Copies of this chain bind each other. A is one copy, B any other.
Amino acid sequence: RELVDRLARQSPARLAIITFGGVILVFTGLLSLPAATSTGTRAPFIDAFFTATSSVCVTGLVTVPTGTYWSGFGQAVILLGMQVGGLGVMTLASILGAAVSRRIGLTQKLLTASETKTTRLGEVGSLIQVVVITSLTLEAAIAALLLPRFLMLRESFGEALWHSVFYAVSAFNNAGFIPTAEGLAPHVGDWALLLPIILGVFIGSLGFPVILNIARQGRRFSRWNLHAKLTVTMSVTLVVLGTFAFAALEWRNKDTFGPLGWSEKILGALFAGVMPRSGGFSTVDVGAMHESSWLVTDALMFVGGGSASTAGGIKVTTLAVMLLAIISEARGDRDVEAFGRRIPRDTLRLSVAVVFVGATTILAACLALLEITGWTLDVVLFEVISAFATVGLSTGVTHLLPDAGKLVLVALMFVGRTGTMTLAAALALRDRSRVIRLPEERPIIG
């Protein structure tokens, strides 16, 4: 326990990389067992490695169909991988967040406990306990909502239970794995089945600190802390924007929403609007969507979900801080402000770093994949952002990648999962004050 705390303070990057790297290797080993495939033959290393990474990094990109290629045992391993990965992300991010806020010297000892008197969460052990209990409770609730629907769809109780649990875990952890060959496509207009999944993905994408803050403060928006307010506001805004965009762009596409009824189209647009950040499920063929919808998806995937959540991307608060900074710049204000609070100046620098490093990673990975595959930018960019932001949506080309291309995606999923949060924490933990200030000189911008 002390070791973890010390590691988190001294080298958060190392802690996250060691933990995730180790877990991925263990799950690669498990998926390499002959018992893991439905045919009983050993899976190729690259597919076991890819699937283990995708599962532990809660991405959902697959090189082999989850529902048919893997055996029941293999699917259980994937389920466990998602669960461990999701819990790991939330715990690690919270520990890092705690280390950051301690170092920065906020009055709050832990971000997650920012408005309560308790310091119980200062202990890593109890933190993990709270994360686990919260996650399992919410997953159980989603599974309970799904179960009757699967039973109504004439599945046997065992099958319905398995599907409910799998979808609940996959949704809450924003993992995007599907336990059946046909996935959610047959249920494109099924509100009773899709709403719980949408809810699970959305709540999971808010992030642990927000969930805990809301759980403690209740539904009164005004009592939430700034982080929760920003996260929820941005998330809802992006869902609404995405829903309208997909409805507008795909309404008459004969390969996606075209043949559907009104209610189904609206549900399809809502589903497509929620999933890029970063649930990764799809009810229509993403490959058949318009190029413009792909671009909207790219943008939403890049932004991702909430900090210390199972979602990936640069995170909604990062975008929010940049937007607020632009607004305050446009108004000529001295401070960046939101909801009656002043946002510290160095958060903008941190946001710029996160966005810039993310964009550069995506650019480099695109160049690599373009050279490896010779494909066009549209599919490559989609695949790269999906892996980086651990979304799991695909235009349908993942399984066509050569091994080198699969390894690029593996590296992206790993970097996307561990990189953004450790980068932010590592930067925030540095602190070098300097007494002598240099003379000021202003370059021209723009």
Shortest Cβ gap from A315 to chain B (Å): 6
With a cutoff of 8 Å between Cβ atoms, the chain B residues found around residue A378 in the complex are 376-378
With a cutoff of 8 Å between Cβ atoms, the chain B residues found around residue A36 in the complex are none
Q: Answer whether A349 and B325 are a contact pair too, CB < 8 Å, given A423-B446, A440-B342, A440-B344.
A: yes
**Residue A296 interfacial (CB < 8 Å):** yes
Is A329 in contact with B341, judged by CB distance below 8 angstroms? no
| Interface residues in A327-341 (C-beta closer than 8 Å to B) | 328-337, 340-341
Is A322 in contact with B444, judged by CB distance below 8 angstroms? no
Shortest Cβ gap from A94 to chain B (Å): 10
Kindly report which residue of chain B lies nearest to residue A112, judged by CB atoms.
B444
- Which candidate, A69-77, A123-131, A222-230, A271-279, is the interface stretch facing chain B? A222-230
Is A443 in contact with B226, judged by CB distance below 8 angstroms? yes
Is B321 in contact with A443, judged by CB distance below 8 angstroms? yes
A320, A357, A367: most-surrounded residue (chain B CB, <10 A): A367
In the complex, how many residues of chain A place their beta carbon closer than 8 angstroms to a beta carbon of chain B? 93
Q: Answer whether A346 and B329 are a contact pair too, CB < 8 Å, given A321-B445, A442-B104, A445-B315.
A: yes
| Interface residues in A259-302 (C-beta closer than 8 Å to B) | 290-292, 294-296, 299
Is B343 in contact with A294, judged by CB distance below 8 angstroms? no
Shortest Cβ gap from A165 to chain B (Å): 30
With a cutoff of 8 Å between Cβ atoms, the chain B residues found around residue A444 in the complex are 97, 111, 207, 209, 227, 307-308, 315, 317, 424
| Interface residues in A417-446 (C-beta closer than 8 Å to B) | 420-421, 423-425, 427-428, 430-434, 437-446
Residue from the list B325, B375, B421 in contact with A446, Cβ < 8 A: B421
**Residue A363 interfacial (CB < 8 Å):** yes
Residue from the list B320, B329, B366, B434 in contact with A295, Cβ < 8 A: B366
Is A354 in contact with B295, judged by CB distance below 8 angstroms? no
With a cutoff of 8 Å between Cβ atoms, the chain B residues found around residue A357 in the complex are 326
| Interface residues in A341-370 (C-beta closer than 8 Å to B) | 341-354, 356-357, 363, 366-367, 370
With a cutoff of 8 Å between Cβ atoms, the chain B residues found around residue A421 in the complex are 446
Is A348 in contact with B349, judged by CB distance below 8 angstroms? yes
Is B329 in contact with A353, judged by CB distance below 8 angstroms? yes
Shortest Cβ gap from A225 to chain B (Å): 7
**Residue A2 interfacial (CB < 8 Å):** no
Kindly report which residue of chain B lies nearest to residue A337, judged by CB atoms.
B438
Q: Answer whether A427 and B329 are a contact pair too, CB < 8 Å, given A322-B352, A441-B343.
A: yes
**Residue A249 interfacial (CB < 8 Å):** yes
Is B318 in contact with A446, judged by CB distance below 8 angstroms? yes
Residue from the list B371, B424, B433 in contact with A334, Cβ < 8 A: B433
**Residue A48 interfacial (CB < 8 Å):** no
Q: Answer whether A370 and B292 are a contact pair too, CB < 8 Å, given A329-B349, A356-B322.
A: yes
**Residue A381 interfacial (CB < 8 Å):** yes
With a cutoff of 8 Å between Cβ atoms, the chain B residues found around residue A343 in the complex are 440-443
With a cutoff of 8 Å between Cβ atoms, the chain B residues found around residue A296 in the complex are 367
With a cutoff of 8 Å between Cβ atoms, the chain B residues found around residue A348 in the complex are 348-349, 352
With a cutoff of 8 Å between Cβ atoms, the chain B residues found around residue A181 in the complex are none
Residue from the list B292, B376, B443 in contact with A371, Cβ < 8 A: B292
Is A446 in contact with B307, judged by CB distance below 8 angstroms? yes
Residue from the list B326, B427, B443 in contact with A320, Cβ < 8 A: B443
**Residue A389 interfacial (CB < 8 Å):** no
| Interface residues in A100-146 (C-beta closer than 8 Å to B) | 101, 104, 106, 111
Shortest Cβ gap from A210 to chain B (Å): 9
**Residue A314 interfacial (CB < 8 Å):** yes
Q: A295-B370, A320-B443, A341-B441 are in contact. List 16 more A-B contacts (CB 8 A).
A: A101-B442, A111-B444, A291-B377, A307-B446, A317-B445, A318-B445, A321-B445, A328-B349, A331-B430, A335-B434, A343-B440, A344-B440, A347-B442, A350-B445, A376-B376, A376-B377
20 pairs, CB–CB < 8 Å, chain A vs chain B: A226-B443, A291-B375, A292-B366, A292-B371, A296-B367, A299-B363, A307-B446, A317-B444, A317-B445, A326-B353, A329-B349, A332-B430, A332-B431, A334-B434, A341-B438, A342-B438, A343-B440, A343-B441, A347-B442, A377-B381
